[in-house]
């Protein structure tokens, strides 16, 4: 009895240890695999892998000459329209062309994206490719995590010419191109037609004065009606108003903020914005508590938003009955200036399948796929695609392409995340009426200059 | 037989704890040592890049960083409000349940449910409840009870944001302390209470002079663990306000997380967590000294 128990205990303990060790090993070696694709099960039966070595001589003239490789692609495409397009059309078409390459699409929500990337870089399990915010290319490139495109692509000098120069430039930092552009966008004014009609506003505001007049009429509709809403006081939200009124975040060379962020025009722009919040024209959610802007817009509580080209297809999906119009950002002394956004596609140094990864990258940047992606609201970055009939005669791209002519970029700087925190905080202090505008902007530049210099 | 008995006594017990020891070594001790090491470096997340030794620079930075002060203040305030809040309410609930003639189990489970509810779900729920301008809390205060004139923008200012965060923390924690108090109450010898009753002690007197002194070890135990828990508040703040607006609701851990995972400043983040750990150790020792020894809890 004793003996039996001891053996049992011993063997159980040993088993546990093994299990733990195994768990540890597999965790370290986890490479995202894709072999449980239910809908593709009609292809080859997977278990063939184990029996293959024994029958190698027989199988010699079978197509399995190269080992099949998996390319992992992280992106934040939305779940409504963009991801289905990628996963159901674009990737299968690519895999049909390249039977030895499997593409695993991994959706990472925007808020988590950077953290997930850092964690996986740290663990040595970075994806092969990622579609990242244009703001991150300089930062990640600067850490040495990304493959420089001009070194990787043999015919770089001719290859790079196919892109629109603006989006391409977002990859350029410290004399390297750390990625390739994938899509570009900007924010335009979106207005709720029913609310405009109810308030008696005939046309979307073309100037800031007209914007204020429109807001007066909207707020006359009653309590709980807001003229405009945005999600916070970050650069993406502040930029269009600040730039249009002649203000700036930094000097053009992106070396200092003082003299620019606290200039006379910047002060005037922030004074104006603070007034908008004070009068209740702007939804107070901009002060940091957040706002469901699409919901409010759809339910006739918010009359105007600034939105990108993903808005028409995705909003239309959620609120098919709400009619909306698109217009340029209201103009002021510097014109109707909006903010440039978009994504770059980057390849990681940790990738073990760089050649295969590049094939997929190149495929996403073919004219055919770029036009396909435009169906989901992604504005192409290829000069040839932008000039094509599809894009030129598109239902709503016209206004975005016009707006892109007047769009400015948030300062590309490796310390942008830190800088953005300062901009966001002080903009919040001003809009909430907690600090005098001039004082706040003077204090902000004192914090910004050293952050910008520390590089 | 003798040999096997010896083996049984000397080896087998260790085999039983071996899995946990391995787990502790790899997931607790190693990260702690690594973190301590990282706190002296300008640490990059990229394996290919060199980490630069900076000595005490990260620690010096902590004491000059005004936001650390704010985060510390917020964290302490959270602890000062939620720890007594949880303890007092948990004590009340425990006394009530203890006095129930039947159905103790049901109420125990009911009050314990929030403890096992996920922080993520509860935090998201709080966001909805305290929504501005149309959350249910605003609706109740404004339309039903007419206590306010205009809806409150709860998450627009740190004071009101912490009302929501503190309430969540208290609500979620009551059940845990309640369970400990309840088992301690049930461990009080009946004779003592009966003797007090015979001597004519009022219920309040019986609680104050008999039950409470006997509950001291349990109270001390919850005080120490709840304080550690409150100083480590993170998920609710992170999910409800994200430290905003303008970082005014930043607590120690959310600020630390921010430094490490937003700005990639892992060395600074590591230094912050070392400081927090040392601070907690000191607080726990002081509490242990002055409030009572929790190990008397049996």
* CA separation for the pair A446, B11 (Å, rounded): 65
Beta strands in chain B (DSSP E): 41-42, 52-53
- A349: chain B residues, CB-CB within 8 Å: 48
Q: How confident is the model at residue A89 (pLDDT cuts 50, 70, 90)?
A: very high
Report pLDDT for B2: 66
Provide mean pLDDT across the span A274-291. 89
Report pLDDT for B134: 78
Interface test with A, best of B35, B47, B143 (most A CBs within 10 A): B47
Interface test with A, best of B67, B149, B245 (most A CBs within 10 A): B245
* CA separation for the pair A418, B263 (Å, rounded): 6
Backbone angles phi, psi at B243, to 5 degrees: 90, -15
Interface test with A, best of B5, B137, B244, B257 (most A CBs within 10 A): B244
Q: Is the distance from CB of B156 to CB of A287 less than 8 angstroms?
A: yes
- Residue A241 makes CB contacts below 8 A (sequence gap 6+) with A269, A272, A273
Provide mean pLDDT across the span A185-196. 95
- Interface residue B241 vs chain A (CB under 8 A): yes
Report pLDDT for B8: 79
Task: Give the count of alpha carbons within 13 A of A452, CB side only.
Answer: 21
3-state helix, strand, coil in chain A (%, to 5): 50, 15, 35
Helices (H) and strands (E) in chain B, counts: 15, 2
Report pLDDT for A46: 41
Residues 250-289 of B with CB under 8 A from A: 261-264
Read off the tokens for A375.
């169906």
In chain A, the residue whose alpha carbon lies closest to the alpha carbon of B262 is A417
Average pLDDT, chain B: 89
- Interface residue B244 vs chain A (CB under 8 A): yes
The DSSP H or E segment spanning A114 is helix A110-123
Residue A2 has its nearest CB partner, among B4, B45, B241, at B4
Instruction: Return the number of other C-beta atoms located less than 10 Å from residue A219's C-beta.
Output: 17
Report pLDDT for A29: 35
> In terms of pLDDT, which residue wins out, B264 or B36?
B36
- DSSP track, A250-315: S-TTSS--TTTTTSHHHHHHHHHHHHHHHTT-B-GGGGTT---HHHHHHTTSEEEEEE-TTHHHHH
Burial B207-246 (b: 16+ CB within 10 A, else e): beebbeeebbbbbbbbbbbbbbbbbebbebbbbbbbbbbb
Q: Do B155 and A288 touch (CB under 8 A)?
A: yes
- Output DSSP code: residue A322: -
Interface test with A, best of B3, B31, B46, B48 (most A CBs within 10 A): B46
Q: Is residue B95 reached through a cis peptide bond, with omega within 30 degrees of 0 on the bond before it?
A: no
Provide mean pLDDT across the span B76-90. 96
* CA separation for the pair A131, A134 (Å, rounded): 9
Report pLDDT for B148: 86
Each residue's pLDDT tens digit, A114-123: 888 988 988 8
How do A302-307 and A226-228 pair as beta strands? parallel
pLDDT at A182 over 90: yes
pLDDT at A19 over 80: no
- A288: chain B residues, CB-CB within 8 Å: 155-156, 241, 244-246
* CA separation for the pair A345, A357 (Å, rounded): 11
Read off the tokens for A44.
């080859």
Report pLDDT for A332: 95
Provide mean pLDDT across the span A96-114. 91
Residue B12 has its nearest CB partner, among A9, A224, A284, at A9
Provide mean pLDDT across the span B167-177. 95
Q: Give me the residue label for tokens 């991801």.
A: A83
Q: Give me the residue label for tokens 């310390």.
A: A415
Q: Is the distance from CB of A107 to CB of A79 less than 8 angstroms?
A: yes
* CA separation for the pair B250, B71 (Å, rounded): 5
Read off the tokens for A367.
């004219």
Each residue's pLDDT tens digit, A32-65: 333 333 343 334 344 444 444 444 444 444 444 5
In chain A, the residue whose alpha carbon lies closest to the alpha carbon of B155 is A289
Each residue's pLDDT tens digit, B260-291: 888 888 899 999 999 999 999 998 888 878 77
Please tell me whether residue A66 adopts helix, strand or coil conformation: coil
- Output DSSP code: residue B133: T
Report pLDDT for A27: 37
- B120: chain A residues, CB-CB within 8 Å: none
How far is A137 from chain B, CA to nearest CA, in Å?
A: 14
Q: Do B44 and A143 touch (CB under 8 A)?
A: yes
Q: Do B45 and A428 touch (CB under 8 A)?
A: no
Each residue's pLDDT tens digit, B175-186: 999 999 999 998
Each residue's pLDDT tens digit, A361-411: 999 999 999 999 988 888 899 888 888 888 888 888 889 988 888 888 888
pLDDT at A93 over 90: yes
Backbone angles phi, psi at A7, to 5 degrees: -60, -40
Q: Do A10 and B244 touch (CB under 8 A)?
A: no
Report pLDDT for A33: 37
Report pLDDT for A21: 43
Tell me the Ramachandran region of residue A72: left when phi exceeds 0, alpha when psi lies from -120 to 50, beta otherwise: beta
Q: Do A2 and B8 touch (CB under 8 A)?
A: yes
- A124: chain B residues, CB-CB within 8 Å: 47
Residue A122 has its nearest CB partner, among B22, B45, B241, at B45
* CA separation for the pair A356, A66 (Å, rounded): 12
- Interface residue B144 vs chain A (CB under 8 A): no
Q: How confident is the model at residue B46 (pLDDT cuts 50, 70, 90)?
A: low
- Interface residue B246 vs chain A (CB under 8 A): yes
* CA separation for the pair A70, A144 (Å, rounded): 23
Interface test with B, best of A3, A124, A141, A290 (most B CBs within 10 A): A290
Q: Give me the residue label for tokens 């990628």.
A: A86
Residue B262 has its nearest CB partner, among A2, A122, A417, at A417
Cα-based distances in Å from A246 to A267, A285, A336, B11, B188: 10, 25, 10, 78, 75
What ipTM did this prediction achieve? 0.74
Instruction: Return the number of other C-beta atoms located less than 10 Å from residue B106's C-beta.
Output: 11
Provide mean pLDDT across the span A154-177. 87
Please tell me whether residue B262 adopts helix, strand or coil conformation: coil
In chain A, the residue whose alpha carbon lies closest to the alpha carbon of B240 is A289
- Interface residue B16 vs chain A (CB under 8 A): yes
Report pLDDT for A11: 52
- B262: chain A residues, CB-CB within 8 Å: 114, 417, 421
């Amino acid at each position: 009895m004793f003996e039996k128990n001891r053996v049992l205990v011993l063997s159980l303990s040993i088993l546990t240890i093994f299990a733990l060790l195994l768990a540890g090993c597999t965790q370290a070696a986890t490479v995202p695999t894709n072999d449980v694709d239910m809908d593709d099960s009609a292809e080859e039966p997977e278990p063939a892998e184990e029996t293959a070595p024994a029958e190698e001589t027989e199988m010699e003239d079978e197509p399995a000459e190269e080992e099949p490789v998996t390319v992992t692609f992280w992106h934040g495409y939305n779940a409504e329209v963009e991801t289905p397009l990628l996963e159901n059309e674009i990737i299968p078409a690519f895999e049909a062309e390249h039977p030895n390459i499997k593409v695993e699409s991994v959706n990472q929500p925007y808020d988590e994206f950077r953290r997930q990337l850092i964690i996986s870089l740290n663990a040595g399990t970075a994806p092969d490719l990622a579609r990242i915010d244009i703001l991150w290319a300089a930062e990640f490139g600067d850490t040495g995590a990304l493959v420089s495109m001009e070194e990787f692509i043999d015919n770089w000098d001719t290859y790079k010419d196919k892109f629109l120069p603006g989006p391409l430039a977002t990859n350029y930092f410290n004399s390297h191109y750390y990625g390739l552009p994938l899509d570009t966008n900007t924010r335009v004014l979106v207005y709720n037609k029913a609310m405009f009609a109810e308030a008696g506003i005939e046309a979307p505001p073309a100037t800031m004065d007209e914007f204020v007049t429109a807001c007066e009429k909207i707020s006359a509709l009653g309590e709980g009606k807001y003229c405009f809403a945005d999600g916070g006081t970050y650069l993406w939200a502040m930029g269009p108003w600040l730039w249009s009124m002649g203000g700036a975040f930094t000097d053009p060379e992106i070396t200092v903020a003082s003299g620019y962020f606290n200039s006379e025009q910047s002060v005037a722009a922030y004074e104006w914005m603070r007034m908008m919040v004070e009068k209740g024209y702007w939804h107070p959610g901009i002060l940091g508590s957040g706002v469901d802007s699409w919901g409010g817009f759809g339910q006739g509580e918010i009359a105007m938003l600034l939105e990108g080209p993903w808005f028409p297809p995705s909003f239309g999906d959620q609120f098919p009955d709400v009619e909306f119009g698109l217009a340029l950002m209201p103009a002021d002394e510097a014109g109707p200036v909006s903010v440039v956004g978009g994504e770059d596609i980057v390849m990681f140094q940790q990738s073990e399948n760089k050649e295969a990864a590049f094939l997929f990258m190149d495929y996403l940047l073919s004219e055919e796929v770029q036009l396909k992606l435009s169906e989901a609201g992604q504005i192409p970055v290829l000069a040839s695609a932008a000039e094509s009939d599809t894009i030129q005669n598109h239902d709503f791209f016209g206004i975005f392409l016009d707006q892109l002519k007047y769009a400015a970029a948030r300062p590309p700087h490796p310390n942008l995340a830190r800088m953005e925190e300062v901009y966001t905080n002080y903009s919040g202090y001003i809009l909430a009426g907690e600090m005098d505008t001039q004082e706040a902007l003077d204090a902000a530049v004192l914090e910004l200059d050293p952050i910008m210099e520390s590089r | 037989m003798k040999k096997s008995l010896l083996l049984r006594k000397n080896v087998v017990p260790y085999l039983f704890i071996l899995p946990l020891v391995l787990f502790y070594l790899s997931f607790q001790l190693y990260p702690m040592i690594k973190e301590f090491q990282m706190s002296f470096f300008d640490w990059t997340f990229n394996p290919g890049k060199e980490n630069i030794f900076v000595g005490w620079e990260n620690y010096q930075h902590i004491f000059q960083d005004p936001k650390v002060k704010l985060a510390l203040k917020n964290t302490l305030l959270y602890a000062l409000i939620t720890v007594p809040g949880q303890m007092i309410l948990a004590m009340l609930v425990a006394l009530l349940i203890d006095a129930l003639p039947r159905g103790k189990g049901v109420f125990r489970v009911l009050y314990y449910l929030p403890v096992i509810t996920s922080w993520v779900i509860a935090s998201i729920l709080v966001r909805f409840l305290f929504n501005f301008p149309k959350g249910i809390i605003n609706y109740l205060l404004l339309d039903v009870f007419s206590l306010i004139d205009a809806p409150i923008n709860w998450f627009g200012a740190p004071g009101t944001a912490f009302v929501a965060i503190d309430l969540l923390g208290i609500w979620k924690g009551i059940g845990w302390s309640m369970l400990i108090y309840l088992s301690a109450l049930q461990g009080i010898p009946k004779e003592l209470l009966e003797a007090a009753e015979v001597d004519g002690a009022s219920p309040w007197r019986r609680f104050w002079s008999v039950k409470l002194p006997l509950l001291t070890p349990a109270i001390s135990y919850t005080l120490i663990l709840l304080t550690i828990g409150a100083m480590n508040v993170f998920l609710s703040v992170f999910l409800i306000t994200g430290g905003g607006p303008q970082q005014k609701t930043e607590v120690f851990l959310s600020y630390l997380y921010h430094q490490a995972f937003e700005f990639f400043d892992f060395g600074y983040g590591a230094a912050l967590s070392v400081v927090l750990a040392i601070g907690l150790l000191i607080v726990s020792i002081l509490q242990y000294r002055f409030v009572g020894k929790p190990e008397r809890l049996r």
